[in-house]
Homo-oligomer: A and B are copies of this chain.
């Protein structure tokens, strides 16, 4: 650092995308089959290098998403979820990756783009359990992203974004159950979301499909931050035991 002629070493920057959605009542993550080396043929998160030196990170993230999986994600709000810069994580050299997270309602089946041989949804538990091997350190990135989504569900009104514009309380409950991976009591859940101010507002009259009593319809309220938060019960047993 005392040498005037020293120049900082450049690194290569990538963005990786953890796109979560709900399909068949399960939390699923968007994965692509890599069409190029390294890890050609393996599953990985969509993502890639910055295109030009002036490209914004978030712009690059959106671009990669539309390139690798042709999803209409204009409205998708990407949120930073971590940086992964360990040397050796990419055989191509020193690559630092910024991970972005998005959580969205039932998205359609993606269409593989230019860089990806294939793109499809996979249940996150297959990734977390290790049944599904991912390229690079992408499993770790998925883990971190899912944990962040779980926490976000507690403190923000994000869960409504998983549903359509109009939904029933039971549908909202299924979102929580899928993301948290635990069952909830319908009656207490009903009471809780009703009295959490600004979370959901009534939308039109009742009536829904199939069997059982017709459910009332709701839409997302205007508040972002939930107070009091939705607490997931399992958190209690998380105290680190000596």
Query: A1-B51, A11-B11 in contact; A227/B223 too (CB < 8 A)?
Result: no
Asked if A135 is at the interface of the complex by the 8 Å CB criterion, the answer is no
Residues of B within 8 A of A224 (CB): 239-240
Asked if A2 is at the interface of the complex by the 8 Å CB criterion, the answer is yes
Contact between chains at B86 and A83 (CB < 8 Å): no
Contact between chains at A240 and B227 (CB < 8 Å): no
Asked if A130 is at the interface of the complex by the 8 Å CB criterion, the answer is no
Contact between chains at B239 and A96 (CB < 8 Å): no
Query: A1-B51, A50-B9, A98-B85 in contact; A227/B235 too (CB < 8 A)?
Result: yes
Convert A76-91 into 0s and 1s, putting 1 for each residue whose CB lies closer than 8 angstroms to a CB of B: 0000101101110000
Asked if A213 is at the interface of the complex by the 8 Å CB criterion, the answer is no
Asked if A212 is at the interface of the complex by the 8 Å CB criterion, the answer is no
Bound CA span A223–B239, Å: 6
Residues of B within 8 A of A240 (CB): 198, 222-225
Bound CA span A85–B59, Å: 11
> A residues bordering B, Cβ < 8 Å?
1-2, 8-14, 48-57, 67, 80, 82-83, 85-87, 93-94, 96, 98, 114-115, 197-198, 222-225, 227, 235-236, 238-242
In the complex, besides A8-B12, A83-B83, 11 extra interface pairs with C-beta distance below 8 angstroms are A1-B115, A8-B14, A10-B10, A11-B12, A11-B13, A13-B13, A13-B85, A53-B94, A57-B86, A85-B98, A96-B98
Q: Would you give 30 A-B contacts (Cβ < 8 Å), ordered by A?
A: A1-B115, A8-B12, A8-B13, A8-B14, A9-B49, A9-B50, A9-B51, A10-B10, A11-B11, A11-B12, A11-B13, A13-B13, A13-B85, A53-B87, A54-B87, A56-B85, A56-B87, A57-B85, A57-B96, A80-B83, A83-B98, A96-B96, A96-B98, A197-B239, A198-B240, A222-B242, A224-B239, A225-B235, A225-B238, A225-B240
